[in-house]
């Protein structure tokens, strides 16, 4: 979603901001803009389209100031127009502001400001903020002649605001500072040497500093080049904690790949190693986690688990449900975070709550987590982004450790979430009835996962050829059973989000109850046909598709005996332990979707309408 970069220091602010905005492009946006303080004025450029368009307009000779703010906008209130792009400037020309989030009571505020003579140029909710800051500045004793500090005007403004925000503000009477504030929209302060940066995402500032302060909800920062301060809406000073980002700028680089998505697909063996590192017991029979903050005895009190997440992470919850119920014999509920937070579902007393979120900023997942905590439940999280809102608000959790995921379509974060779900199932199973020997076998199987994934990745050229054959299809079905039903859902999601082909995931046997109506020569079905007790049932479902002339792509266990001629294409995957199977089976659908999207000329890393981290409801 929208991205924020602000700079105050000694360098040309527009260059630093444009560099940061380029690194935020992956979040999804439709317009970009920046404002720089120079010669006692605000110089502004903003345009619909890519950051390159903005970069052309913001030539360094025009933008020479050393304090500035920049933004990439993903439209919520108001269409995609130059006027609606950020920064917005107050009608008296004194303040510029960028904003992520939604101001819910902007209608009332706008009415008030109009009655006081302020004017508006855009249809956005954001523009009320800069005008309200201007109003507070002008109202103060000295009549805006050096009266109230910028920080206080912003603070007063935010006290009237309902909704969510991450903002950065400049004022022409405050040449060497910016003010930033957040509520439910991430904001990080990068602390440099004689310079400071504000960003909505660490990747925007990692090229300049690794020392960061994660602002908390309800906090404001006054940011000059040195000696920033943090305080709350009710004027309490906060002692900021400076953290270190552990990954490097290279981790966020494309590294010779055509797309970040391709890079991240091929990084998965290493990512899985990183997720597992140091997390098995010395006797090799179970998993161990440092940050769950629950003792084994407390885990034994748990009767039920509730998982919540969105999108791909929700699919990871479904796989965790399968494995935990199978190996730990504990009942698991899975809910969409967006539904859970409003449907007031009855929860058993001894329920342990888990949320899964790569970004740790998805507003619905955060909302579900807060709702569970409000009801007194303990909430644990699987999360990739260190210092994210979910990581900080959870009662405990497990970091995925897969490095930054830049491709909008999640790949390495997903398989790492599958790995953590499998490890959790093992841990809980070993606290109950899973034997030592079964535990050892399970651990060895997990340790083998990176190697198995590597073997599937070697089939990339074969999968690319299949993608070329079917890239013109208008519909796809993805069909799998048991733990591979969520992978069928994930395959369908991956394909539709990056190639814009209509795709549906279903449990293979459910296909007869509706989706079979879609089947034709133009609608390929991707089947997971893996060895085991339901193999023959899946083969029967394949026969039913074949009888209706539907092309079949079978992702089948090596050596599985499919009737000759049943599948039009076969992608073999290694035979493996049930806990690892969803991980291994994910790779072919990721590659298939990726190559189909490339074949169709789609912008894989920036799919239309999508955002990497969904920070609005």
* Residue nearest to ligand F6R as judged by C-beta position: 311
Asked if 359 interacts with ligand F6R (CB under 6 A), we say yes
Q: Considering only residues 365, 400, 415, 590, which one is a binding residue for ligand F6R as defined by CB under 6 A?
A: 365
Catalytic residue numbers read 2, 612
Q: Considering only residues 362, 389, 499, 615, which one is a binding residue for ligand F6R as defined by CB under 6 A?
A: 362
| Measured distance CA(341)–CA(264) in Å, rounded | 31
Only segment of 235-243, 304-312, 369-377, 538-546 that touches ligand F6R (CB under 6 A): 304-312
Asked if 615 interacts with ligand F6R (CB under 6 A), we say no
Asked if 358 interacts with ligand F6R (CB under 6 A), we say yes
| Measured distance CA(595)–CA(611) in Å, rounded | 21
CB 355 within 8 A of CB 368: yes
Minimum CB distance to ligand F6R, residue 442 (Å): 26
CB atoms under 10 Å from CB of 184, counted, come to 22
Q: Considering only residues 66, 306, 410, 499, which one is a binding residue for ligand F6R as defined by CB under 6 A?
A: 410
Which helix (H) or strand (E) covers residue 497, if one does? helix 485-499
Asked if 590 interacts with ligand F6R (CB under 6 A), we say no
Residue with Cβ nearer ligand F6R (55 or 406): 406
Minimum CB distance to ligand F6R, residue 94 (Å): 37
Residue with Cβ nearer ligand F6R (352 or 589): 589
| Measured distance CA(303)–CA(348) in Å, rounded | 8
Q: Considering only residues 38, 66, 312, 499, which one is a binding residue for ligand F6R as defined by CB under 6 A?
A: 312
Cα angle, residue 268 at apex, residues 452 and 186 outer, rounded to 5° = 150
Asked if 38 interacts with ligand F6R (CB under 6 A), we say no
Asked if 203 interacts with ligand F6R (CB under 6 A), we say no
Q: Is 533 exposed, middle or buried (0-12, 13-18, 19+ CB in 10 A)?
A: exposed
Instruction: Take residue 406 and report the two structure tokens written for it.
Output: 């830049």
Residue with Cβ nearer ligand F6R (130 or 503): 503
Helix, strand, coil in percent for the chain, rounding step 5: 40, 20, 40
Only segment of 24-32, 358-366, 476-484, 526-534 that touches ligand F6R (CB under 6 A): 358-366
Among positions 494-513, residues that touch ligand F6R (CB under 6 A) are 497
**From the DSSP assignment, how many helices (H) and strands (E) are in the chain?**
18, 25
Only segment of 252-260, 311-319, 514-522, 548-556 that touches ligand F6R (CB under 6 A): 311-319
Only segment of 3-11, 232-240, 272-280, 306-314 that touches ligand F6R (CB under 6 A): 306-314
Cα angle, residue 406 at apex, residues 402 and 412 outer, rounded to 5° = 40
Output the furthest CA–CA distance in the chain (Å, rounded). Answer: 87
Q: Considering only residues 311, 439, 450, 486, which one is a binding residue for ligand F6R as defined by CB under 6 A?
A: 311
Which residues have CB under 8 Å from 292's CB, separation 6+? Answer: 380, 396, 397, 398
Asked if 357 interacts with ligand F6R (CB under 6 A), we say yes
Minimum CB distance to ligand F6R, residue 52 (Å): 25
Asked if 67 interacts with ligand F6R (CB under 6 A), we say no
Instruction: Take residue 267 and report the two structure tokens written for it.
Output: 């990084």
Minimum CB distance to ligand F6R, residue 356 (Å): 7
Minimum CB distance to ligand F6R, residue 452 (Å): 22
| Measured distance CA(360)–CA(201) in Å, rounded | 11
The sign of the torsion formed by the CA atoms of 529, 534, 536, 537 equals negative
Residue with Cβ nearer ligand F6R (6 or 311): 311
Q: Considering only residues 272, 409, 426, 482, which one is a binding residue for ligand F6R as defined by CB under 6 A?
A: 409
Asked if 268 interacts with ligand F6R (CB under 6 A), we say no
Q: CA Rg, the chain, in Å?
A: 26
Which residues have CB under 8 Å from 189's CB, separation 6+? Answer: 180, 196, 197, 198, 212, 213, 215, 221, 223, 228, 230, 240
Phi, psi of 61 (to 5 degrees): -70, -25
What character string, x for contact with ligand F6R (CB under 6 A) and - otherwise, covers 447-486? Answer: ----------------------------------------
| Number of chain residues interacting with ligand F6R (CB under 6 A) | 15
* Residues forming the site for ligand F6R (CB under 6 A): 310-313, 357-359, 362, 365, 409-410, 493, 497, 613-614
């Amino acid at each position: 979603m929208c991205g924020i970069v602000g700079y105050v220091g000694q360098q040309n602010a527009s260059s630093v901001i444009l560099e940061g905005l380029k690194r935020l492009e992956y979040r999804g946006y439709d317009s970009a803009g920046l404002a720089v303080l120079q010669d006692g004025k605000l110089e502004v450029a903003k345009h619909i389209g890519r950051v390159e368009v903005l970069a052309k307009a913001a030539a360094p000779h025009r933008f020479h100031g050393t304090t500035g703010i920049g933004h990439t906008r993903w439209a919520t209130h108001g269409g995609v127009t130059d006027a609606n792009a950020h920064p917005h400037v107050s009608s008296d020309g004194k303040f510029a502001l960028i904003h992520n989030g939604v101001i819910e009571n902007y209608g009332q505020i706008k009415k008030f400001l109009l009655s006081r003579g302020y004017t508006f140029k855009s249809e956005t909710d954001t523009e009320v903020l800069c005008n309200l800051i201007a109003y507070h500045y002008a109202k103060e004793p000295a009549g805006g002649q050096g009266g109230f500090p910028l920080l206080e005007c912003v603070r007063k403004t935010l006290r009237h605001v309902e909704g969510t925000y991450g903002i950065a503000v400049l004022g022409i009477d405050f040449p060497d500072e910016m003010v930033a504030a957040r509520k439910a929209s991430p904001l990080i302060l990068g602390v440099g040497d004689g310079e400071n940066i504000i960003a909505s995402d660490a990747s925007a500032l990692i090229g300049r500093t690794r020392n960061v302060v994660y602002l908390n909800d309800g906090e404001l920062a006054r940011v000059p080049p040195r000696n920033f301060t943090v305080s709350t809406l009710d004027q309490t000073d906060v002692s900021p904690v400076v953290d270190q980002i552990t990954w490097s700028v290279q981790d966020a680089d494309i590294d010779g790949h055509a797309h970040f998505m391709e890079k991240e697909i091929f990084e998965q063996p290493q990512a899985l190693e990183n997720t597992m590192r140091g997390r098995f017991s010395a006797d090799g029979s179970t998993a161990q986690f440092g940050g769950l903050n629950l003792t084994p005895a407390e885990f034994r009190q748990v009767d039920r688990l509730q998982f919540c997440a969105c999108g791909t992470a929700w699919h990871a919850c479904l796989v965790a449900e399968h494995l935990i119920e199978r190996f730990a014999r504990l009942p698991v509920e899975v809910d969409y975070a967006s539904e859970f937070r409003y449907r007031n579902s009855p929860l058993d007393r001894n329920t342990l709550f888990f949320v899964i979120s790569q970004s740790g900023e998805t507003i619905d997942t955060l909302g579900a987590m807060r709702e569970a905590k409000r009801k007194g439940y303990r909430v644990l999280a699987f999360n990739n982004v260190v210092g994210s809102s979910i990581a900080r608000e959870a009662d405990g959790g497990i970091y995925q450790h897969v490095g930054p995921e830049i491709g909008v379509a999640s790949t390495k974060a997903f398989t790492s979430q599958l790995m953590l779900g499998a490890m959790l199932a093992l841990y809980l199973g070993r606290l109950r009835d899973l034997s030592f020997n079964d535990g050892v076998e399970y651990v060895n199987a997990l340790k083998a996962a990176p190697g198995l994934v590597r073997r599937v990745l070697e089939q990339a050229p074969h999968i690319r050829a299949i993608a070329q054959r079917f890239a013109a299809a208008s519909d796809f079905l993805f069909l799998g059973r048991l733990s591979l039903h969520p992978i069928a859902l994930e395959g369908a999601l991956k394909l539709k989000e990056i190639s814009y082909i209509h795709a549906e995931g279903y449990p293979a046997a459910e296909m007869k109850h509706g989706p079979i109506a879609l089947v034709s020569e133009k609608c390929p079905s991707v089947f997971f046909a893996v060895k085991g007790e339901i193999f023959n049932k899946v083969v029967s479902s394949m026969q039913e598709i074949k009888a209706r002339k539907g092309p079949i792509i079978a992702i089948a266990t090596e050596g599985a005996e499919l009737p000759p001629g049943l599948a039009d294409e076969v992608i073999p995957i290694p035979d493996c332990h049930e806990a690892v199977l969803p991980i291994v089976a994910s790779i072919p659908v990721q590659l298939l979707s990726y190559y189909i999207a490339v074949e169709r000329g789609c912008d894989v890393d920036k799919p239309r309408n999508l955002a990497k981290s969904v920070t609005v409801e």
